[in-house]
Every structure is written in C-alpha cells, then in structure tokens.
Structure 1
Amino acid sequence: MLIDGLQCGHFTRDVFIDLKRGGFTCVTPTLGFWEGTIESLDAITQWRELERSSSDLMLIAKNVADIQRAHETGRVAVLLGFQNTNLFEDRIAFVELFADLGVRVVQLTYNNQNELGGSCYEENDSGLARFGREVVREMNRTGILIDLSHVGDRTTLDVIRFSERPVAITHANAASIFPHKRNKSDAVLRALKDNGGVIGCATYRNITPEEACASVKGWCEMVARTVDIAGIDHVAIGTDEGHNTTQADLDWMRKGRWTRGVQYGAGSEARPGKVAKPQWLSSPGELGVLHDGLAAIGFSAEEVQKITSGNWMRVYSAVFG
C-alpha cells in the first residue's frame, strides 16, 4: 500500500491512471483554499461526478474500510480534503454538515490568520482562538482529521494539546532539517508524537532540501532524520504534489481575493513561479520507488510499511474509523 497525505491541482482520469501505476492506495486531494460554502459544495459535486465517470479507477473513501476496499479492487481511494476552514463560514453546525458529505481532512488555517487561529506566515501567531477550540472539538466528534501544515507553531501546539484525537501535518518537513516558515519545529514534532499524530514529509522543492530533491536516497535520508525527531510511528508521506497546475492556480493559492499585491507563498522573489519537480519524481507514478529507497538506507520491512501507509491508516482509523 502507498498513501499520500496531500496532493493538489486538477485531477483527471490520466492522473488516476498515473497514480495506479505508482501503486497508490489512497490520496487526499485539495478541494479548496479560500473558497466559501457554496464553492466548496460545488467542489464536492465535481468530485462526485469524477467518481461516477472514473469508478473503475477511484472511489471516494469515508473510512478505512473504503480505503481497504479500494486497495483490494485495484482502485485509488480519495479522502476529500480542504486546506482552509472557509467552507464552514463561521458556522459550527457546518462542520457536521461537511462531514456528512464525506469531507475527511480540513486544515485549520491556510496562509493567513483566520477566526480559528494563526498561520505560519503571520508575524505574530495568536494561538488557538475560542472559535478554534469549538471547531477542533467538533471535528474530533464528527470524524474530520485536523491538518496543521500551514498553521503557525503556537496555534499548532495549542491544537495538539487541545485535540482529543490524533492530528496531522499532512505536507511539510522538519524546520531543523530545512529552515522555512512552512516547516515544523522539533518542539512541534515531539508534541505530535505525544498526540499520536503524523507528519507527511513533502517533496515540494520550496520546502525540501536540495539533496532530497536530487535523489531518492536523499529524500529517504531526510525521512530518516525526521524519524529521529518524531519517531517511526509518526512519519509518513505528504508530497504536496500538484497536478496540471498553472500560474493562475498558484496566484489563487497565494492571493485568493484578499490582496492585490505580490505574494510568493512558499516561494520567494528568487523563485516566484512554478518550481521544478524533484529530479527523481517527475510524476507521482514514480513514487513507488520509495519502498526500495527506504529499505536501502536501513529501514526494516515493518518500518517501510509504517512510513508508506501504516501510520496514515492508524491515524485515519483513530479519527474517522
């Protein structure tokens, strides 16, 4: 089995053919970044239509039994996910509503502070707000996995302490390995371990060491260093891979409707646009090489299984069953 905690972009039949080629069992796509309720409902509808037209390749999963069924029938399971809480539009009741519609992963904040808490890009991280605490507990109750990838460190630590279920950093790396506002401190990774959660190590070049982009061995060695911090039961895969992404998509991710100014997201003035994929990963269909790559640097078969699928399955089971 091979599970990726987060991808984004435009998914098509060709994308799912490639994912099947790579041996994927499950992936969480990004259905939205800044979209409100109606736009988010539209996104769910579009994914249901894709499921109807591509039922031979994929299915929308609502629990681990669905993921296992996809694996057994040679299809890719999809966990519907959003990278912001705008879909709830300040209504606590909408958490349950979207859970009932099959949403299984939601990030608390994206690139800006919102009503729930702070973002990794704010100069001052406010911590988890009162409304944030309400949403955390409601997501715990309704079976939605809390994603903290773009969330500020103070807010992240607050959520980890407050959540009654494991949480996830679906797509990031350790800041001690590659310093970046989007990456996570050792303090956060140790707290994540105590919570029972998981970090999905990313392949996105802007937040990943150059040596980890240059070769499978380099990326697997980065994973090993992350395991040294967080423990073998708390490290997995979260590539942040983008499918068919255009500059317009990048502009929407970075700017939404909230600014007219230039925003680079995880990039910079030196890297303003779309960055090259890792040299060893020109498409997700090649990600299956990680099984051998992890084994080659010393991980046991059991440890490889945890990193490539088992740790995600444990967290999914604890959160939405």
Structure 2
Amino acid sequence: MLIDALQCGRFDRKVIEKLVAGGFGCVTPTLGFWGGAVEGFDSVAEWYDLERANADLMKIARTTADIRQARREGKVAFVLGFQNSGHFEGRIRYVELFAALGVRVTQLTYNIQNDVGSSCYEPVDTGLSRFGREVVREMNRHGILVDCSHVGDRTTLDAIEESEQPIAITHANAASLFPHRRNKSDEVLKALAAKGGVVGCATYRNITPESACASVDGWAEMVARTVDIVGVDHVGFGTDDSHHVGQAELDWMRYGRWTRTEQYGAGSKTNSGPSKPPEWLPEVYNLAEVPAALGRVGFSREEIAKLSAENWLRVYAANFG
C-alpha cells in the first residue's frame, strides 16, 4: 500500500481510478489554500458529493481503520486536509466543527503569516502566536493532525513542542539535501522525529534535488539520505503532486486575495510557471515504482513498508485513531 500525504488540484473519477490502479491506499487532498469557514464548509461538502458519486472507488477516512477497510475493498481512502488554517477564522470552536465534519489534517500556515504563526517565507519568524498554541492543543483534542510543511522553522519548532501528539511535515524535503526556504533544517527534522513525527518526501521539482528528479533510483537515494537524518520510522511520501492544475490554479495558490504584487511560491522570476514533473514521474500514479527502487538502495521489505505506509498510519493513529 502507498500513502501519499499531500496532493492537490481537482480530483475527478479518472484521477481516482488511476490512484486505485497505482496502488494508492490513502491520499490527503488539499481542500483549500485560502479562504474562510464558508469556503471550507463548501470544500468539505464537495468531497462528500465526490464520495457519493464514486463510492465504488473511494472512501473518506476518519480513522486508520477506515483506511485499512478501503484497502481491503479495493478503494482509495482520502484523509481530508487543508493547507492553511484560515477556515478556523480565529474561532477556537471551529476546530471541533471541522473535525466533526471529517477534516483530519490542517497546515498551520500557507505562504504568508496568519493569526496562528509564521510561514517559511516571512523575513522574521515570530513563532506560534498565543492563538496558535490554543489551536494546536485544540487540534490534538479533536483529532486533527498538525501539518507544518509551509510553516517557518521557529513556528514549526514551537508546534512540535506544544503538541501532545506527533505532528507532520507532509510535503517537504531536507534543506541540507536541497537548500530552499520551503525545505526543513536538520534541527527541525530531528525535533520532529524526537516527538514521533513524520516528514513526507516531496517530488515537487522546485524543492527537490535534480538527481532525485532524474530517476526513481535518485529519488529513492534522497529518501535514504533523509532516513540518515531522522531514522527510518520518521520518513514517508508526500509528493505535492497536482491534478488538473494550470496557470490560473497556480496563480490562486500563490496570490490568493492577499496581494497585487508578483508571487512565485517555491518558483522564481525565471521559473514562474507550473513546474515540470520529474522525468520518472510524469504522473503521480507512477509512484508505484518507488518500493522497488527503495529495495535497490538497500532498504529491507519491512523498512519499505514503513516508508510506503506504516509510518503515516502510526502518526494518523496517534492523532485520530
């Protein structure tokens, strides 16, 4: 079974069919980057509609038992998540409401500072706000996994310390392997591992070494080097791959409603469009090639199972059962 802790874009039946065929047991889609509670409610409702229309292929998972059941039934499970905490709208009670609706993952910030904490792109990372500390504790209480992928290092370290449960960096790489503000320092990754968390290695070209984009064995080697930093129990997959995403969707991810100035996200002025996928991963469904590649770089069968799914299942179980 493969678990991909972060994908984004628009999911439809064809995408779901390919995920099933590719051996995916569970995927976390992105229900929102920007927006408030009403847009968040709309996104959750749209996923309920998608599940009803494709009940033969998919299941919205609220627990790890749901993920395993979906796998036995030949379906792909979806763990609903957001890439920002704006849907809480500064209201601590909304954490419980979204948890009751089935949301199981929320990233504390996206690409700008918010009322919870700082993003990785802020010139000064001020750490978790007082409200942010309340949000982390409330997410713990109600079974929502704390995600710090786009979050600044200081805020991430605060979240790791504040959380009673292991947290996640669902889609990033080690900055020591590819220096980029979106990637995570060894200090952060080791703190994450010390509290039982998991980092999902990404395939997104803008934050991934060229050798890991050139071949599946190169990506497996990057996974191995990440394991060298944090240990085999604290690494998984989080591709950050997209479905049906063009320039308009990319602009929404980068600009939202907060700016009129040019924004590039993890790209740059000379690399402003949608990023080219890795040569070995023209579509995310080719991720099924990874377990064999992990074996070729020296991982045992048990270790491959941890990296492919079991590490995520452990963190999921700790957070939402």
TM-score, structure 2 normalization: 0.99
Is 1:146 paired with 2:155?
A: no
Deviates more, 1:83-92 or 1:279-288: 279-288
Partner of 1:31: 31
> Counterpart amino acid of 1:72?
R
Partner of 1:78: 78
Partner of 2:294: 294
Deviates more, 1:15-24 or 1:87-96: 15-24
Report how far residue 286 of structure 1 moved. Answer: 1.0
> Counterpart amino acid of 2:291?
H
Specify the SS of the correspondent of 2:171: strand
Report how far residue 246 of structure 1 moved. Answer: 1.2
Specify the SS of the correspondent of 1:3: strand
Q: For residues 47-86 of structure 1, what are the structure 2 equivalents within 5 Å?
A: 47-86=47-86
Q: For residues 109-258 of structure 1, what are the structure 2 equivalents within 5 Å?
A: 109-258=109-258
Specify the SS of the correspondent of 2:24: coil
Counterpart Cα distance in 1 of 2:133 and 2:106: 14
Identity %: 64
Partner of 2:22: 22
Counterpart Cα distance in 1 of 2:46 and 2:319: 25
Q: For residues 271-282 of structure 1, what are the structure 2 equivalents within 5 Å?
A: 271-282=271-282
Specify the SS of the correspondent of 1:154: helix
Kindly provide the CA deviation profile for residues 76-101 of structure 1, in whole angstroms up to 9, marking residues without a partner as x. 00001000000000000000000000
Aligned residues of 1:3 and 1:24 also touching (Cα < 8 A): yes
Kindly provide the CA deviation profile for residues 230-255 of structure 1, in whole angstroms up to 9, marking residues without a partner as x. 11000000000000101111111101
Counterpart Cα distance in 2 of 1:174 and 1:270: 23
Report how far residue 35 of structure 1 moved. Answer: 1.4
**Which stretches in structure 2 are left out of the alignment for 5+ residues?**
none
Counterpart Cα distance in 2 of 1:204 and 1:18: 19
Counterpart Cα distance in 2 of 1:275 and 1:112: 21
> Counterpart amino acid of 1:126?
T
Aligned residues of 1:204 and 1:277 also touching (Cα < 8 A): yes
Kindly provide the CA deviation profile for residues 87-133 of structure 1, in whole angstroms up to 9, marking residues without a partner as x. 00000000000000000000001100111111100000010110000
Report how far residue 270 of structure 1 moved. Answer: 1.4
Kindly provide the CA deviation profile for residues 112-169 of structure 1, in whole angstroms up to 9, marking residues without a partner as x. 0111111100000010110000000000000000000000000000110111000000
Counterpart Cα distance in 2 of 1:52 and 1:275: 33
> Counterpart amino acid of 1:253?
M
Partner of 1:102: 102
Counterpart Cα distance in 2 of 1:5 and 1:272: 25
> Counterpart amino acid of 1:86?
G
> Counterpart amino acid of 2:9?
G
Specify the SS of the correspondent of 1:172: coil
Report how far residue 284 of structure 1 moved. Answer: 1.8
Kindly provide the CA deviation profile for residues 278-300 of structure 1, in whole angstroms up to 9, marking residues without a partner as x. 10011122111111010011000
Counterpart Cα distance in 2 of 1:241 and 1:12: 15
Counterpart Cα distance in 2 of 1:228 and 1:270: 33
The runs of at least 4 aligned residues of structure 1 exceeding 6 Å deviation read none
Counterpart Cα distance in 1 of 2:90 and 2:203: 33
Aligned residues of 1:18 and 1:284 also touching (Cα < 8 A): no
> Counterpart amino acid of 2:168?
A
Specify the SS of the correspondent of 1:59: strand
TM-score, structure 1 normalization: 0.99
Partner of 2:283: 283
Partner of 2:3: 3
Counterpart Cα distance in 2 of 1:39 and 1:161: 31
Counterpart Cα distance in 2 of 1:194 and 1:209: 26
Counterpart Cα distance in 1 of 2:15 and 2:106: 23
**Which stretches in structure 1 are left out of the alignment for 5+ residues?**
none
